[in-house]
Every structure is written in C-alpha cells, then in structure tokens.
Structure 1
C-alpha cells in the first residue's frame, strides 16, 4: 500500500510501550478536550496507622473480587482462503462469500469472477452452499439493524444505490411496517429500544433527520448547525446523536436539543461502542507531517486515558459486541512504528498486537459473543484470505 506521506514518524517503541499498557504521544490537548488521565483498577481501600513516629500504609483487599485478567491473548487463528465474511450465524458458524476467477484478464479484457455463498462451520471446517439472500436475485441488497433489546429490526431494501425501501420488523412475529421516507443514505442507528434515527440524505442538501417509531411512523428532527452540509461521520445511541461537521469537529445533540454540543476537534473518524458508553475517535495532526492518533472518549467528550494508537493511517475501528474490546488497524510507512492489527482491552487498558501485520480490505467482523474476530486481507494467489482469530477466555 502506498501512502502519500513523508517517511519520518515520531519515535514509537511499540513493543515496550505495549507491554507497559497505553501508548503516549500526540499529546496535544485540543479545544473541547480535557487533559488525558490514566485510570487505575480498584484494588481496595487504604488506611494509615501511626507506628514508631511514622506513617505506615495498610492496603485492605476486598474479598471475593478476583483481579481482572490483563490484556488479551490469542488461542488460535483459522484461515479461510478466497473468502470474505458476509455475516455471523452463531459463535462458530458464519456466512462467507467465495470469489473465484472464471476468466483471467487479458490485454484487452478485464478478468471475470463468480461469487458463491456458503455456510461455514469453524469447528468442523465444513462448507454448505446456501441460496442468495431473498430479494437479491433482482439486484436488491437487504441490510438490517437490530434494536438494543433485540426485539425489533430496522430493515433497508436497496433497489439501487439511490433508492431504499425502509421498514420496521417485529422479530417475534415477523410483522413488517413500511416507513414512508425517501432516502439515498444508510446513515443511522437506534436511539433507544423504541426509536431509530435515520439521516435520510438528499441529492440537493443535507436532507432530513427522522426519528422512526416501532409502528413505522416518523417525526422530523431539527438540527441547528450551519456548519454541516452532509454527515461523513454519524453515530446514534443511548438517547444521543453524534456527528462531525465541515471543520472536523465532533458534536452531539438529541431530538429535544436542536443546538449541538462540541465534544472534540480535528476528528477524522468516530466509532460508538455498542453499550453507548465510549467513543473511539481518530484525530489528525499536521506538524511538518500528518499523522493520526486514536483516543477513547466518554460520551461527554472527556478523554479516557492516553492515546491507544498512532500512525500514518489508523482505520477500521470495530467494537466487540460486549464493548470490552476495540480492534483497529494501523499503517505506518516507517516500519519502526505501529503496523498491522491491534486490540484494545477496556478492562486492563492494554493494547495488544495480533502478531502478523494484517491490514483489512473488508470490514472487521466479530462473532456474537466477541470471542472471535474475522479479518480479511488481500492475497496474491487466493485474491483474499480471511483469518478468524480465537481469543483465550
């Protein structure tokens, strides 16, 4: 991968820093940010006693609370050649798409490929061919977004890249209620268990932001911000809506608060954890060279600890379903810096490399319990290879 960035990178002793926990650097306190603070685990209460004219500190350890496991470790890595992940069906079964070259490229013609879907069992290694998704035979693409309590799903059926039919489905009964909203974007998320927020988009301007109820009715939400033309970054959860404006400033608002609150500046990407308690934020800084840094914020805009990643490009942030781990990729032209895939463990505050210099070409994919992570990379012979990383429990 070629990057149009300068070769010099600030010194990052990755192995030493990773073993120590967090990584320091990019320590510029920006407008709207608080100074980084390192959090420490609760190891008990402390009291002081007077003995021999001096003070002695007594640590009282609370019983029945085993120490948290520090960091993560890999148990096994599965390899699936020529395939990428479509979705997980269970903790050990997934739907994969296998790409096959039907005709090699020539000087005058492009190569021709075929695509087939399989059900793949990681425990047995068996593949079972499956039919295409219902409706996809007409060129439609169906995407679904499950509510936090799992009782409803917001479903978009895309007839083409500009037109989608939206619906709310009751997962218990299978009943669907169509949502009468025209849109050409799939930007949105569940505000809570009862409402889905959709930034519908428009070919002329920002378009409407809609609050959609479980019965399919909709209500337009007002946002008073003249500094946003479209949503390049957008996330929803726990009653709040997060986005970046034209000046790369992270802001939040709610359906009852039209004027947004500034949370951070110089933001390139954001990723809200599934429990809506943390935001992974990539910031960009230019000081003779451009670099990206990854921080963890709370939902009020306060930095949690020091930075956890740094490089020419920090991308593909993906939270585990239980919000305990964050996977991300780093590319640095200077190979003395961070490169490849890393896992941030929220319990210990440690960042751990996955060993090999993976760089994903498809979205990262966690299994439902967060015990496995799928990473698809380019491969010269097999077009693509998917690695399934099993974490020790």
Structure 2
C-alpha cells in the first residue's frame, strides 16, 4: 500500500468525523489526537493517545547450527523434537548396508543434552506436536511402509492411529485432541489422542496432499493441483482454486498463504508465486515469486510468514515477510537443500529449519535455529 496515500485517506476520514461531531481536530506529533466538542454550556476537550508505530523491521540476532540431527518441532523455546541415529540400538540392514535407526529425542538447546522418547529398532520420523505441546504424532517405518503413532509426552504412553499405513506427506493437528493425516491409499484420516481413527474423505487420487483442518472445514490439494474445501458437516466439496502447489491457513483460519504455478510446465521453466488471500480467496497481497516457493509457515500471531525460495536450481534463501506491509527480509543461511517445512517457536522469536547435504556419499541432516531480534 502507498503510505502517503494511506495517510491522506486517514486524514480525510478524520476530517469527516470532525465535521459530523461539529468539532475541531488537532494531531500532535502523531502521538495524540485532540477532539474539541463545543456545547452551549461548556467546551470539552478529549485527548486520545495514539499507540506508537509498530516496527516491521526483521533482523537476525544469531544462527545456531546442529549437524547430524533433523529438527522437527518446538517443544518449548529451548527444547526441540529431533531425529538422529540411535547408537544404542541394534543396527538396521538397509539395501545390504547396516546403519543405526533414526529415533526421536528431545534436544535441550541450553545444555545440548538429548533425551530419547522411544527406543526402537526402526526409523521414526515426521514428528509434530499438538498445539498445547502435550501429545506428539509421528511415523514409525518398517522398510517402505509407515504407521502413525501418538505419544502422551507426560506418561510416554503411545497409541497407534488405526491400522492404515501412512503416506509420505506431512501431517497436522486439527486441535489439541485430533491429528489429520493422509493414508497410503490416499484417504484423508483423522485420529484422536486415544487412537480412534476415522476416514474423513476418500479421494481415490494418489496425488492428494496438504490436508489441513480449520474448525469445520477441511482443505486439501488433489486432482491436478486443485485446492478443495470440504465441509465436514454437510459433506459438500468445493473447488477453490487451481494450479495450487501449497496452501497454508493462518492459525485462526482467517487468511491463507497460497503458492501457485504461473505457467505451463511443458513449455517454460517453472515459476511460482506466493500470495496472501482472505477467506473468500480474494487476494490481499503478493509476497514472493521464484522457480519454487516452499516451507511456508505462519508465525504464531499471524503477522509474519516464513518461506524458502529456489531459483536456478539453487536455494536462493529463507525469507520472513511482514504480512501487513509485504516487506520481506532474507535470512543469511548457507545451505544446499531445504527439506522440511519451517517452524516457528512458541514466542515467534525463533525459526527452525532442516536441510540435508551429502558427506562421503551419505546424506547428513543439518538443523538451523534462527533467532530474530525482538
């Protein structure tokens, strides 16, 4: 938005209010507004202090790097859920080679200590915490298949989320009690913290991904990148948009981040665009563009949006944009690949991201914790 124009419009609106009140207005250094109301018996002066302008400057305070671990989610401001090789477990045999299984741990960032959550002779991945941080959903792998589990972090008791195998895509909590995921057979399922699982939608489309629930609405992408809205009460399905690569509702569900294809892939190099839209899918502003835009994540208060841009086959950078102004800041992170969604800490002052590199012909995960200046 043009700031000069915005100020002129605000001033004009203020003038109209003054005329309607038969009053005179005076603004003092942008900090207070005087409204003088003339009455036959007396004069009343009301002074309203304006809140100071909020800075939209985003700056990096520090970046901490952790090699050999894959950061997945925030348990608190100083604790992460991570996956790393469990050196105490019996090794796995994978394609004729032995390696340690990747198990889930709690990493204390202040001490560097790791506490194992569940020791298994199988890989664990895709861990995501409930909003209240009391339950953890994760996948456990046996060769090429995966099964879902929910762990009560207070008791470490674990329940299986139905008998269905879980697909490869990320899962997301609908609320503190239920998690939404996509099965290997492309159904969208939901499980509660006791393991009771129901099928919400049978899509019959193995390209289905990005399933998210906000209140009574389920959103997902399917059928040649069409974004659908499914009313869980009426069972009505509505196509909202096409050429959609990623869809990220804000925490309150009142605005959406939308990543779309802009061109025909068979004739041109891939181009994507990240925009903000309202609940009616009307555009509110363009945030970014590039060959690929991914990892999109809202800050807890919904004022900032983090994302990654790839151009020319290389990661161009991790960015944080102020949603109101649209101003974006590039964060200085030296990386080759970005593998996982970006995740905000509970305060919104830190970002978690994981990347992978090849060292000695073997993949190595690297986790970054980016602390922003408050």
Give the Å deviation of 1:333: 2.5
- Aligned counterparts of 1:39 and 1:193: Cα–Cα separation in 2: 40
1:327 partnered with 2:306: yes
Seen in structure 2, the aligned counterparts of structure 1 residues 95 and 334 have a Cα distance that, compared at 3 Å, is closer
Unaligned runs of 5+ in 1: 1-19, 22-37, 100-109
Distance 1:365 1:199, change over 3 A: closer
2:274 to 294, 297, 302: 294
- The structure whose RCO (Cα within 8 Å, separation 6+) is larger is 1
Residue aligned with 1:233, SS: strand
- Asked if 1:391 is matched to 2:368, the reply is no
Match of 2:174 among 184, 187, 191: 191
The equivalent of 1:127 in structure 2 is 112
Contact preservation (8 Å) 2:147, 2:160: no
The CA deviation at 1:114 is 7.1
Residue 161 (structure 2) pairs with residue 182 (structure 1): no
* Match among 216, 237, 241 for residue 260 of structure 1: 237
Once the two structures are superposed, residues 328-379 of structure 1 have per-residue CA deviations (whole angstroms, 9 ceiling, x without a partner) of 11122299xx931211123543211124564543323433322122344566
Q: Output the CA distance in 2 between the equivalents of 1:39 and 1:176.
A: 54
The structure carrying a bigger strand percent of its residues is 2
Q: Give the aligned partner of residue 46 of structure 1.
A: 14
Q: 1:158 to 1:368 in 2, by over 3 A?
A: farther
The residue correspondences of 1:1-393 to structure 2 (distance < 5 A) are 46-48=14-16, 63=49, 65-81=51-67, 83-94=69-80, 122=109, 126-128=111-113, 130=114, 132-136=116-120, 138-141=121-124, 144-150=127-133, 152-154=135-137, 156-167=139-150, 178-185=160-167, 188-202=171-185, 206-207=186-187, 209-222=188-201, 228-286=205-263, 288-305=268-285, 307-333=286-312, 339-355=316-332, 358-363=335-340, 364-377=342-355, 385-393=366-374
Compared CA separation, residues 193 and 49, structure 1 to 2 (3 A)? closer
CA contact (8 A) 1:360 1:375 kept: no
1:392 Cα deviation after fit: 0.9
Residues paired across the two proteins, number: 330
Shift in CA distance, 160/63, structure 1 to aligned 2, threshold 3 Å: farther
CA distance in 2, matches of 1:114, 1:157: 14
State the secondary structure of the residue aligned to 1:339: strand
Please give the root-mean-square deviation of Cα atoms over the aligned residues, in Å: 4.4
Which ranges in structure 2 are unaligned for 5 or more consecutive residues? 34-47, 86-95
Q: Which segment drifts farther, 154-163 or 288-297?
A: 154-163
